[in-house]
C-alpha cells in the first residue's frame, strides 16, 4: 500500500490547546530584520511585534528587536504543496511522492468493517485520513498516544479507553458513521482527545472555507470541540476551532494571539441538543484582520461575526481534525457521532444568510 502522508512536525502532536502565548526570551537584543523579509507587523500585549521568515520578534522603542519564538520553518512550508494542471497535491514527508488534495474533501465512512479494523482502512490515501489521536488518562503524554497509534495501525492492537471507529450505530445516512468515544480528563490533564485528521486540505488568506458535517452527542456529556482547521506546521498548530464551549452553544475561536471568539448573541443563543443529529455548517473567510465566520445549526444561522480568522498572513490551513478534538469539562465520557463530512471552497446548499451580520467577534 502506498505510504500515507504524515502530517509535518509540530502538528497533531502539539499538546497545547490554549492558543498562542508569546514570551520574550531573556538576552541581548538583535537588529531588526530587513523590511523586505518582514511578513507582518502587529501589536500584541501592548507592544509592537513583527513576523519575518517564520520568526516572531518584539520591537523595542530603540528599533532593536528581541527574539520571541520561531513559529514555522518557511522552507518546510514551501515544499508542502505542488500544483499540477490546476490541482493541488501535497508532498509526503519523504521523497517526492505527492497526494491529491481533493476539492471538495468528502467522507461518509460507508466502506469497510466496523471497529478498530475499520479505522485502519480509513488511514491512507484511499480515504484521505492521515492521523489518529487518542489522548486519555492511560495515554496522557505525546509519547504515550503516539506509541498507541503505532500499535493500532501497524501492530493490530486494539483500543484502550478512547476510541475512534466506524460503526453502524453511528450512521446518519447509509451503513456507517464515525463514533468518537473520549474519557474525561484526569490527573491534571487539560483535555482528552479522540479524533481523526486529514492533511489533504489547503486554504489560504482571501479564500472562504466551507465545512459541513452531521454531529450527534450520543451521551449526556457534550465535548468541548467538534472540529479544528489548523496550520499544523506552525508552533502549537494555530487555526480556527469550532466548539460548544463550556455551556453547550456553537461558536468559533481563533487559536492564536489574543484568541478572538465568534459567539452567538446572548439574547438569541440556540443550545446544541443532546442525542439528536445536528447539521453544522461553517463558512469562514480567512484574513488576519477582517475575517468573517458564519455558523449554521441545521438551517439556523447562529453565528455571524467578523474578526481575525487566520493566525498570520502566509498561513495555510492544511489540516482538518474531526471528532472530539478536546473534551475539557465534566467527569463523564463524551461520545460523539460524525457523518457526511464536506470541506471545500464552494458554498454549500441548505443554508441562507440574513442581509446584515448579527454579531461581533468577542475577545
Question: Is residue 50 in a domain?
Answer: yes
Closest CA to 11 of 132, 186, 165: 132
- pLDDT reported for residue 136: 92
What pLDDT band is residue 95 in, cutting at 50, 70 and 90?
A: low
Q: Torsion over CA of 344, 350, 352 and 357, rounded to 10 degrees?
A: -50
- pLDDT reported for residue 355: 41
- pLDDT reported for residue 9: 29
Closest CA to 109 of 165, 191, 57: 165
**Into how many domains does the chain fold?**
2
Residues 52 and 169 placed together within one structural domain of the fold: no
Model confidence pLDDT, tens digit, residues 211-231: 999 999 999 999 999 999 999
Residues 66 and 182 placed together within one structural domain of the fold: no
What pLDDT band is residue 186 in, cutting at 50, 70 and 90?
A: confident
Strand pairing partners for 82?
Answer: 89
Residue 99 grid cell? 497526494
Residues 258 and 332 placed together within one structural domain of the fold: yes
Residue 289 grid cell? 484582520
Question: Is residue 329 in a domain?
Answer: yes
Mean pLDDT, the chain, as a whole number? Answer: 88
Model confidence pLDDT, tens digit, residues 111-164: 889 999 999 999 988 899 999 999 999 998 899 999 999 999 999 999 999 999
Residues 51 and 131 placed together within one structural domain of the fold: no
Q: Select from 26, 49, 75 the last residue of a domain.
A: 75
Q: Select from 75, 100, 130 the last residue of a domain.
A: 75
- Dist CA 68 CA 81 (whole Å): 28
Range of the domain at 43: 35-75
Model confidence pLDDT, tens digit, residues 265-323: 999 999 999 999 999 999 999 999 999 999 999 999 999 999 999 999 999 999 999 99
Question: Is residue 323 in a domain?
Answer: yes
- pLDDT reported for residue 8: 29
Residues 121 and 220 placed together within one structural domain of the fold: yes
- Dist CA 338 CA 223 (whole Å): 13
Residue 328: HSE in the Cβ half-sphere, 13 Å Cα cutoff: 15
Say what angle helices 142-154 and 115-122 make with each other, to 10 degrees.
100
Question: Is residue 70 in a domain?
Answer: yes
Residues 69 and 108 placed together within one structural domain of the fold: no
Residues 151 and 240 placed together within one structural domain of the fold: yes
Task: Assess whether pLDDT exceeds 80 at residue 41.
Answer: yes
Question: Is residue 175 in a domain?
Answer: yes
Residues 201 and 234 placed together within one structural domain of the fold: yes
- pLDDT reported for residue 51: 97
What pLDDT band is residue 107 in, cutting at 50, 70 and 90?
A: very high
In CATH, what number is assigned to the domain containing residue 244? Answer: 2.60.120.200
- pLDDT reported for residue 139: 92
Neighbours of 163 (CB within 10 A): 21
- Alpha-carbon radius of gyration of the chain: 20
- pLDDT reported for residue 21: 40
Question: Is residue 299 in a domain?
Answer: yes
Burial state string for 321-333 with b = 16 or more CB within 10 A and e = fewer than 16: bbbbbbbbbbeeb
Closest CA to 132 of 325, 265, 272: 325
Residues 338 and 294 placed together within one structural domain of the fold: yes
Question: Is residue 96 in a domain?
Answer: yes
For 170, list phi and psi in degrees, rounded to 5: -100, 10
Residues 230 and 248 placed together within one structural domain of the fold: yes
Task: Assess whether pLDDT exceeds 90 at residue 352.
Answer: no
Model confidence pLDDT, tens digit, residues 59-86: 999 999 999 999 999 999 999 999 999 9
Residues 195 and 288 placed together within one structural domain of the fold: yes
Model confidence pLDDT, tens digit, residues 22-32: 444 445 789 99
- pLDDT reported for residue 360: 52
Percent of residues, the chain, with pLDDT higher than 90 = 76
Question: Is residue 89 in a domain?
Answer: yes
- pLDDT reported for residue 6: 32
Residues 40 and 166 placed together within one structural domain of the fold: no
Q: Select from 55, 75, 95 the last residue of a domain.
A: 75
Amino acid at each position: 500500500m502506498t505510504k500515507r502522508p504524515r502530517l509535518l512536525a509540530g502538528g497533531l502532536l502539539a499538546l497545547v490547546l490554549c492558543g498562542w502565548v508569546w514570551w520574550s526570551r531573556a538576552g541581548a537584543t538583535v537588529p531588526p530584520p530587513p523590511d523586505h523579509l518582514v511578513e507582518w507587523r502587529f501589536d500584541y500585549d501592548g507592544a509592537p511585534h513583527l513576523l519575518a521568515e517564520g520568526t516572531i520578534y518584539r520591537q523595542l522603542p530603540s528599533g532593536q528587536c528581541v527574539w520571541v519564538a520561531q513559529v514555522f520553518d518557511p522552507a518546510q512550508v514551501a515544499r508542502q504543496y505542488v500544483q499540477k494542471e490546476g490541482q493541488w497535491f501535497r508532498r509526503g514527508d519523504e521523497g517526492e511522492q505527492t497526494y491529491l488534495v481533493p476539492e471538495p474533501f468528502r467522507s461518509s465512512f460507508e466502506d469497510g468493517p466496523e471497529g478498530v479494523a475499520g479505522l485502519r482502512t480509513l488511514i491512507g490515501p484511499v480515504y484521505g485520513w492521515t492521523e489518529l489521536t487518542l489522548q486519555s488518562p492511560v495515554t496522557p503524554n505525546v509519547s504515550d498516544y503516539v506509541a498507541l497509534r503505532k500499535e493500532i495501525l501497524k501492530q493490530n492492537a486494539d483500543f484502550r479507553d478512547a476510541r475512534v471507529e466506524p460503526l453502524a450505530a453511528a450512521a446518519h445516512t447509509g451503513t456507517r458513521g464515525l463514533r468518537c468515544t473520549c474519557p474525561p480528563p484526569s490527573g491534571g490533564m487539560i483535555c482528552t482527545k479522540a479524533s481523526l485528521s486529514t492533511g489533504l486540505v489547503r486554504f489560504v488568506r482571501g479564500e472562504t472555507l466551507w465545512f459541513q458535517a452531521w454531529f450527534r452527542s450520543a451521551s449526556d456529556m457534550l465535548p468541548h470541540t467538534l472540529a479544528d482547521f489548523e496550520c499544523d506546521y506552525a508552533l502549537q498548530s494555530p487555526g480556527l476551532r469550532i466548539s460548544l464551549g463550556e455551556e453547550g452553544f456553537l461558536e468559533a475561536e481563533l487559536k492564536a494571539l489574543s484568541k478572538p471568539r465568534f459567539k452567538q448573541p446572548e439574547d438569541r443563543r440556540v443550545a446544541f441538543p443532546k442525542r439528536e443529529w445536528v447539521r453544522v455548517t461553517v463558512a469562514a473567510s480567512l484574513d488576519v484582520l477582517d475575517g468573517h465566520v458564519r455558523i449554521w445549526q441545521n438551517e439556523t444561522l447562529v453565528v455571524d461575526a467578523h474578526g481575525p480568522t487566520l493566525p498570520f498572513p502566509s498561513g495555510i490551513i492544511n489540516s482538518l481534525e474531526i471528532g472530539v478534538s478536546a473534551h475539557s469539562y465534566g467527569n463523564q465520557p463524551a461520545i460523539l457521532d460524525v457523518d457526511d463530512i464536506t470541506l471545500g471552497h464552494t458554498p454549500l446548499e441548505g443554508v441562507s444568510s440574513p442581509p446584515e451580520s448579527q454579531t461581533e467577534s468577542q475577545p
